[in-house]
Structure 1
Amino acid sequence: MSEQPITVTPTRTTTPFHTDIAELNQLPCEQVAALIGDLLYNPPLGDAIAADQPFRSLEHLLDAAHRELLRLPRVEVLSSIQAHPVLGEETTDIYSRAEQSFILESPPEVLADIADLCRRYEDRFHHLFLVCAQGIGGHEVLRLLSRRLNNPTVTEWETTVRELGRINTLRLRSVIRG
């Protein structure tokens, strides 16, 4: 008697999926690509990471995610950045909502200041302000936004990609056990 294949349905807006490396390795490459691509807002990145399957460990998966992010064309990285919700704005995305929980609890005037600086940031750098927001509040975001608005464009792009990598790692760790 053969076992039924494991089916894990990705979703960005309702219920998170949870799995471990062994279960992930049992899934078809296309399903792993879809799950990871959805989780990280980047289907081509999901495809590239899934191509490294089977994963020896969670660290192997995280290494693949980091390596493949750095290999993506700039337009693909930008697409992933732009898919994230604006910091401080309500979102139905369960992962972003959890990551931004402390920011979303900020007083209205702090959220208004964040919105204003985010607009200024987008005007200057032509992409969303991105920071791994897990555990930081609105005042910290304002400090980071103010500081990063003064970065040279190249430095800020590198910082943004680094933050995207941190977010990707956080998300992968939150849904996949080693």
Structure 2
Amino acid sequence: MTSTSPPPGLARFNALEEQAALAALHEACAAAAWARSLLAARPYATPETLYSASDAAVAGLGTADLAEAMAGHPPIGRPAPGDPASAREQAGMAGAADELRAEMLELNLAYQERFGHVFLICATGRTGEEMRDAVRERIGNPPEREWEIVRTELGKINRIRLGRLVEAD
């Protein structure tokens, strides 16, 4: 059985008025260049074509665009109040011991001091310990290497968030 129409959630996204679609994309990623790129390529036939467009847009982001995207992400262990997405994505820190929370705060601050931006990791499905280990490992990276890791992590996060946007009925 072949279907030429996109799934209902994607059809809804494709049909959104431009400003509403831009707002929905901004919820997924704060980089305006990324959102404009995805908006310009609508309509999407399948979720996979949307995800591929997102990957291409993330690959094309410059350092300032990446910094803009990261500004939309709260530090690990401190999800933004009233933001169910960051709370859900950082669930691995929700039940963390006070000692681990304190260590993550210290590591987040050290990372931010070193690189000038928040530590970005696709936290979905990761434990607090895994996130701590990742920041410990990455804090020693040269800045160029860290920007590439940030780009990769942002791409993963964007795919998950777009999935929630377009695959829901």
Question: 1:176 pairs with 159, 166, 169, which one?
Answer: 166
**Distance between the aligned counterparts of 1:36 and 1:153, measured in 2?**
28
The percentage of aligned residue pairs carrying the same residue is 28
**Distance between the aligned counterparts of 1:59 and 1:25, measured in 2?**
14
**Distance between the aligned counterparts of 2:105 and 2:157, measured in 1?**
20
2:152 is paired with a residue of what secondary structure?
helix
> 1:62·1:169 contact (CA, 8 Å) conserved in 2?
yes
Q: Which residue of 2 aligns with 1:143?
A: 133
Question: 1:38 pairs with 5, 27, 31, which one?
Answer: 27
Select between 96-105 and 29-38 the one with higher mean Cα deviation: 29-38
Select between 29-38 and 167-176 the one with higher mean Cα deviation: 29-38
**Distance between the aligned counterparts of 1:34 and 1:153, measured in 2?**
31
**Distance between the aligned counterparts of 2:26 and 2:96, measured in 1?**
31
Residues 1:53 and 2:42 are matched in the alignment = yes
1:25 is paired with a residue of what secondary structure?
helix
1:24 is paired with a residue of what secondary structure?
helix
How far apart are 1:21 and its partner, in Å? 1.3
Q: Which residue of 2 aligns with 1:125?
A: 115
2:37 is paired with a residue of what secondary structure?
helix
Select between 146-155 and 28-37 the one with higher mean Cα deviation: 28-37
TM-score, reference length from structure 1: 0.84
Q: Which has the higher contact order (CA 8 A, sep 6+)?
A: 2
Q: Which residue of 2 aligns with 1:22?
A: 11
TM-score, reference length from structure 2: 0.88
Select between 41-50 and 131-140 the one with higher mean Cα deviation: 41-50
Question: 1:68 pairs with 57, 71, 82, which one?
Answer: 57
- Give the unaligned 5+ runs of structure 1: 1-18
How far apart are 1:174 and its partner, in Å? 1.8
- Give the unaligned 5+ runs of structure 2: 1-7
Q: Report which of the two has the higher share of helix.
A: 2
1:44-73 CA distances to partner (integer Å, 9 max, x unpaired)? 321210100010110111111111122223
> 2:111·2:118 contact (CA, 8 Å) conserved in 1?
yes
How far apart are 1:38 and its partner, in Å? 2.6
